[in-house]
Amino acid sequence: MDDPRARLADRQRALLSALVAGAAPPEGFDVERLRIQAGSLIAKRRGLVAAARPDVREALGNSFAREFHAYASGRPKPQGGSRADAAAFADWLRDRGLLDAPDPETRQKRHWWRFTSKRDQSR
């Protein structure tokens, strides 16, 4: 491949895959630094999911961080952003018997709607 842009794009894809999808680190990158950065990205996602679904965070208690790390390791954030990530995480937990199914009779509006801007809330 002689095209420098194509080579760069391939290296960027490989780096992104290593950071968010658990792929092997690309040649020339420090494995430990990539591991640390990947962990930071998971922690950022975890914070957004905890804010979007405090019910899940409360249900898991001290195991929330551990379970989210297990869920997110090697799995990129789904399309749809943090809301979709929070829903996928809850489904993942339910599939493993770690979270009860929501009760349809007492189900409340999800907390993630509070992510709208202050300006939008004043309307």
Domain range spanning residue 77? 4-96
pLDDT score of 101:
86
Confidence of residue 123 (pLDDT cuts 50, 70, 90): very low
Dist CA 85 CA 46 (whole Å)? 9
pLDDT score of 108:
52
pLDDT score of 74:
85
| Span of 47-61, 85-99, 101-115 with lowest mean pLDDT | 101-115
Is the residue at 118 inside a domain?
no
Is the residue at 48 inside a domain?
yes
pLDDT score of 111:
47
Overall domain count for the chain? 1
Comparing 20 with 104, the larger pLDDT belongs to: 20
Is the residue at 78 inside a domain?
yes
